[in-house]
Structure 1
Amino acid sequence: MKFTALIAMIQDKDEEAAIEAAKEAGAGSVTILHGKSIGLEEKKVFFGLTLEENVSVLLFVMPRKLSMQVMRVLREKFDLDNPETPSLAFTVPLSHVAGLDTKELHKFEHDIKSMI
């Protein structure tokens, strides 16, 4: 089974909804990192302070066959193709993976078989 890492940078307020949508689309466990996003053009607010948007970086490891399905759901639900949306998602192919839970592997196998 070939694996892919799907990384989604979503606004903090959408974190739970994004995780739920991804899991409904077939994703398994997720690692969540918190960060700040500063665009190309800085946004100024009161007293010259720069507004930094808080984001959640969601990292999913899943079979390649499921990754496009999860990506499609995230693109549609969070309007990722809209340049005004401060969210981003991309995939990275993985050549070696260790430490995946056996229950998760069985879930992936089941999900892929139901797709066929």
Structure 2
Amino acid sequence: MKFSALAAIVPEDLEQECIDAARELGAGGITVLAGRGISNTARKTFFGLTYDGSQSVLLMVLEKGLSLEILKAIQKVIMPDNRDSSGIVFTLPLEHLGGIDFSQVEKFEQHLKDSQE
């Protein structure tokens, strides 16, 4: 079985919606980190203070095929009109992996069987 790491950097207000989309498709554990981004557009200012906005970084280890499904689901949340994105989501292949819960591996295997039927 091959695994991928999925990372999604999303606005804080879309965090739960992205988590729900990933869990609905079979994601087990999700690590959530607080983030702050600097975009290529001018920052918003309010009385001389700048506001960058809060972001959440979602990290997941998934079965390779499942990672693409979850990537697409999160993309629909952060890019609903297929034009302007409010975040980014990407996957990276994993060569070596340790510490994953065996019950999660069983869920991934079941997902693979279900998708082949």
Aligned equivalent of 2:8? 8
- Residue 43 of structure 1 deviates from its aligned partner by 1.5
Counterpart check, 1:51 vs 2:79: no
Root-mean-square deviation (CA, aligned residues, Å) is 1.4
Match of 1:50, SS?
strand
- Residue 48 of structure 1 deviates from its aligned partner by 2.0
Structure 1 segments, 4+ long, off by >3 Å, are: none
1:42/1:51 contact within 8 Å kept: no
- Aligned runs of 1:58-73 on 2, under 5 Å? 58-73=58-73
Matched AA of 1:55: Q
Aligned equivalent of 1:112? 112
Q: What runs of 5+ residues in structure 2 fail to find an aligned partner?
A: none
Q: What runs of 5+ residues in structure 1 fail to find an aligned partner?
A: none
- Residue 78 of structure 1 deviates from its aligned partner by 2.5
2:17/2:77 contact within 8 Å kept: no
**More off after superposition, 48-57 vs 73-82:** 73-82
Match of 2:47, SS?
helix
Matched AA of 2:78: F
- Number of residue pairs matched? 115
Aligned equivalent of 1:98? 98
Could you tell me the percent identity over the aligned residues? 37
- Aligned runs of 1:31-42 on 2, under 5 Å? 31-42=31-42
Aligned equivalent of 1:88? 88
Name the CA distance, whole Å, in 2 between partners of 1:48 and 1:22: 39
**More off after superposition, 56-65 vs 32-41:** 32-41
Counterparts in 2 of 1:107 and 1:85: CA distance versus 1, 3 Å: same
Q: Deviations over 1:35-73 (max 9, x none)?
A: 111211332312322111101000010011111111111
**More off after superposition, 87-96 vs 40-49:** 40-49
